[in-house]
Amino acid sequence: MTGAIFSDPMAGGPKRMFLRATGLSREAVRRRPIIGICSSWSELNPCNIGLRDLAEAVRRGVTAAGGTALVFPTISLHEQFVAPTTMLLRNLMAMDVEEMIRCSPIDGVVLLAGCDKTVPAQLMGAASAGKPAIMLTAGPRSWGRFRGAPVVTDDGWTLASEFLEGRLSAEEADDLEDVFCASMGVCNVMGTATTMAVLAEALGMALPGSALVPAVHAQRSSLAEMTGARAVALARAGTTPEGILTEAAFDNALRVLVAIGGSTNAVIHLEAIAGRLGLRLGLARLERISNETPRVLGVRPSGSFSLEDFDEAGGVPALLRVLAPLLDRDAATGDGQTVGQVAETARGRPHPCLRSLDDPFERDGGLVVLRGSLAPRGSILKRSAAPPELWTHRGPALVFDDYRTALERSFDPNLQATLDTVLVIRNAGPVGAPGMPEIDVIPIPISLRRQGVREMVCVTDGRMSGTEFGAVALHVTPEAAAGGPIGLVRDGDEIVLDARRGVLDLLVDERELARRADEPAPEHSAPTRGYEALHKEHVLQADEGCDLDFLVDQTIRPVVPSLGAGK
């Protein structure tokens, strides 16, 4: 083969020739910019199953704006399907996303995500890849109806308890299976997926008003077209995530997280995204922002309203309007306007789900940072999901060495527990579990469940998205497997929780703790190969975002030029 087109192996020509195999015209492969559509569509991920159609709508938007769109797949993680936990693989997905963006001949990218970890993984990867990027999320799934009433995701835990206690028949369980996930889209409460979708908007990485539109609405396709066109504009302007994901943007996102009573998992994910750009948020910042920011949204599980109510109230732009006095209004949004401009022009009708700063659901934010002898580097408690009578509590520990054991033992009718008991679930952190799996339900002992108890105090070095009950001190850091004092707790030790003052203490004197620390630790088998071994060796603690240490603060520049010709 001869000719100028082959003289430089890095030139776009050979790439364009291979791309013609897809049926694109000469004009299409020479067009600039080339926009990758990074899709986490997968039949193994029902929450993201609508992304294939949305990718085509994004393509229309890219083409109409003068670019060429190329869809590419990455790993996709579904909360219920991936074992042992999606959190173990979030960083692997982020690496996949980063390398595919960085190493492909594209000028910019549209990120298509939905289910919990797919959103932060894509944002982390895009932040490190350093090419213009914008996200579109999948949108919440529709409600089903069960026993004559709407059923949403967090009803699942109550209904599961009813089934275990014999109050929901096998026939009813079959009927529930028919309607529980009534459409494509993500869990239809303010769990991790929608919290992260809202935060993608608040960070300026998704179009204003895009997070809450239901997955099945035609408006989501329109948003996809608009997102494609916006990606072309970002690529032409050369605006990378580094120019959008500023410290001010993260402060705004943390305020939004607190104001919506969002998922505690988002604290970890925001830290991880920021870490990719060399920013450290820290729990002290969350604490300050939480103390200054009222919770103004009352959407389940932090309230009785629905995501559709929030959408009707105007979604994230209307929330920004409410929060405007507390926000950095010069920060960028996904459509190129400032936060202040989006807030001023926000639409939506007044709705009781969204209140003012003067008349909030809670004066202090929904998230509390706890510290003390049981959590020297901190712990998070979602106060908005906890009954006020448990915000201050002192009681004896009942210790479980892992979540599976906790669940199994909770069915033992002889398990000794009272309403004062503090359930301690350890070895559930990023190193110990490994991967910090989600704790789905608080393992309330069956003897108490039969008395109707649904709320208890629980302390863990693991995660829980917030779609649950009780006062749960999460992300206790350091975790047990990293030498944290939670690993030294014994049954009967007194634990003090004060969610008003931000305290989590273990009332055992230091000499006794030192004695326990000197005892031989139980042997755990460690992974010896593959990604799990890499993760275990390099994963950071929850207060640092649970990223892999070698991925933090690494500025890697794009190395592969566009395959399109000209500008």
Residues in contact with ligand FES by CB under 6 A are 47, 78-80, 115-116, 186-187, 191, 193
Q: Closest separation between CB of residue 485 and ligand FES, Å?
A: 33
Contact present, 175 and 168 (Cβ < 8 Å): no
Q: Closest separation between CB of residue 42 and ligand FES, Å?
A: 12
- What are the backbone angles phi and psi of residue 404, rounded to the nearest 5°? -60, -45
Q: Enter the DSSP assignment of 140.
A: B
DSSP conformation letters of 441-482: S----HHHHTTT----EEEESSB--S-S-SEEEEEEES-GGG
Q: Which is nearer to ligand FES, 119 or 374 (CB)?
A: 119
Q: Which is nearer to ligand FES, 97 or 506 (CB)?
A: 97
Q: Closest separation between CB of residue 38 and ligand FES, Å?
A: 18
Q: Closest separation between CB of residue 392 and ligand FES, Å?
A: 32
Contact present, 475 and 378 (Cβ < 8 Å): yes
User: Residue 562 and residue 51: Cα distance in Å, rounded?
Assistant: 25
Q: Which is nearer to ligand FES, 194 or 427 (CB)?
A: 194
User: N- to C-terminal Cα distance for the chain?
Assistant: 28
Q: How far is CA 433 from CA 176, 258, 460, 535, in A?
A: 31, 28, 12, 11
By the 10 Å C-beta count (0-12 exposed, 13-18 middle, 19+ buried), 43 is classed as: exposed
Q: Enter the DSSP assignment of 527.
A: P
Q: Closest separation between CB of residue 351 and ligand FES, Å?
A: 24
Q: Which is nearer to ligand FES, 153 or 227 (CB)?
A: 153
Q: Closest separation between CB of residue 251 and ligand FES, Å?
A: 26
Q: Which is nearer to ligand FES, 47 or 75 (CB)?
A: 47
Q: Which is nearer to ligand FES, 410 or 467 (CB)?
A: 467
The helix (run of H) or strand (run of E) holding residue 381 is: strand 375-382
Q: Which is nearer to ligand FES, 135 or 229 (CB)?
A: 135
Q: Which is nearer to ligand FES, 249 or 268 (CB)?
A: 268
- Among 245, 296, 271, smallest CA distance to 378 is for 271
Q: Closest separation between CB of residue 119 and ligand FES, Å?
A: 9
User: Residue 482 and residue 487: Cα distance in Å, rounded?
Assistant: 9
- The residues, any chain, with a CB within 8 Å of residue 69's CB and separated by 6 or more, are 34, 35, 36, 37, 58, 59, 62, 63, 110, 228
Q: Closest separation between CB of residue 194 and ligand FES, Å?
A: 8
Contact present, 461 and 424 (Cβ < 8 Å): no
Q: Enter the DSSP assignment of 551.
A: G
Token readout for 268 is 């970890």
Q: Which is nearer to ligand FES, 87 or 471 (CB)?
A: 87
- The residues, any chain, with a CB within 8 Å of residue 536's CB and separated by 6 or more, are 431, 434, 526, 527
Q: Which is nearer to ligand FES, 116 or 251 (CB)?
A: 116
- Among 316, 84, 58, 128, smallest CA distance to 209 is for 316
Contact present, 275 and 309 (Cβ < 8 Å): no
Cis amide linkage into residue 430, ω under 30° from 0: no
Q: Closest separation between CB of residue 192 and ligand FES, Å?
A: 7
Q: Which is nearer to ligand FES, 462 or 484 (CB)?
A: 462
Q: Closest separation between CB of residue 78 and ligand FES, Å?
A: 6
Q: Closest separation between CB of residue 138 and ligand FES, Å?
A: 8
HSE on the CB side for 364, CA within 13 Å?
Answer: 17
Q: Closest separation between CB of residue 151 and ligand FES, Å?
A: 14
The type of residue at 260 is I
By the 10 Å C-beta count (0-12 exposed, 13-18 middle, 19+ buried), 437 is classed as: buried
Q: Which is nearer to ligand FES, 130 or 214 (CB)?
A: 214
Rg over CA atoms, the chain? 24
Q: Closest separation between CB of residue 98 and ligand FES, Å?
A: 22
The type of residue at 124 is M
Q: Which is nearer to ligand FES, 80 or 169 (CB)?
A: 80
